[in-house]
Amino acid sequence: MPKNEFAGRKIAVIGAGAWGTTLADLIGQQDYIVRLWCFEPEVAQQIKRGRENEIYLRGVSLSENIIPTSELEEALADVGLVILVVPSQHFRDVASKCRPFVSPKSYALSASKGFEIETFKRMTEVLAEEWGGLDYKAGVLSGPNLSREISAHKPAVTLVASENEELVRTFQHLLSCRHFRVYGGTDVTGTELGGALKNIYAIAAGVAQGFNFGNNTLASLITRGLVEMVRLGVTLDAKVETFYGASGLGDLICTAFSELSRNNYVGRQLAGGEKLDGILAGMNHIAEGVYTTKAVHKHLKNAGIEMPIAEAVYSVLFEGFDPLEGVHALMGRGLKTE
């Protein structure tokens, strides 16, 4: 699909956090007009005035092809390609408000990573409920994609997954450029699970880094964390091989090791003795792993699945368990075969 085939196809990014702004800028840098919906009117004004999202992506000069707005109707009018980048706990509300303005035969791509806590639904499942009856196709974008690095044009890959081949090809060609390579896939469930679950283990990795445990610890944590991700994934009909790709192992390594990761930051602060409420209050960004941990814990109560690292993270986040004691408890578990 040549790039010029996107001429006349209107594009909207719903959500102007760091990742939503980065995706809008990536599209705009390729000479496409993209509307960016900003929840905060002041963010829209900042971008209009100085071509910068001072709250969520400070220091990055944004493309002139981005049209910021705080009105969903304006953002979605006659749009054929929609990318939703909304925090998981607000996703249903925003999707519901979008529904009256969604154009027929739209392609929708979720770039949000998380679960709805009460229902344990993935974002494409929430979208299907809220946009039921509309003639649209949906997919998911997920991979090792730290906003700061992508916006600085550092090479990276990602994955677009959908059961609709044309949607996959469309977003592959829309988003791919010299520094951003987009792979295609069909396993929507596995792609969403990988993007969401890795944030739990990024928190655990941050704890390990906060205690200066070293690379052996991090490698062990990532290895066993991946086992837990696969263990849950197969019960939800995800493909095992998806977890060894960009949206699984790739995203897990990236988020676990990087100090740019919000979830890693939460873990490091916990290791330093800070309490969760204070950590979250001091952040401009959403640490999705906190809410993912709660959603997974709720699901595991009746699922009969063993995920000891995820459960230890839950105990530290929500039950006042000392992080170091959590490490000792994990290391002292009964011996097993791998």
Answer yes or no: 198 catalytic: yes
Distance of alpha carbon 245 from alpha carbon 241, whole angstroms:
7
Q: Of 198, 275, 294, 298, which one is the catalytic site residue?
A: 198
Beta strand pairing status for 137-142 and 156-161? antiparallel
Q: Are 85 and 13 in contact (CB under 8 A)?
A: yes
Q: What is the CA radius of gyration of the chain?
A: 20
The residue with tokens 């995203």 is 251
**Exposure string for 136-175, b = 16+ CB within 10 A, e = fewer:** bbbbbbbbbbbbebbbeeeebebbbbbeeeebbebbbebb
Q: Indicate the SS3 state at residue 277.
A: helix
Encoded tokens for 270:
């916990």
- How far is the CA of 322 from the CAs of 92, 99, 214, in angstroms? 34, 44, 20
Element (H, E) at 331: helix 323-331
**Exposure string for 316-332, b = 16+ CB within 10 A, e = fewer:** bbeeeeebeebbeebee
Active site residues: 198
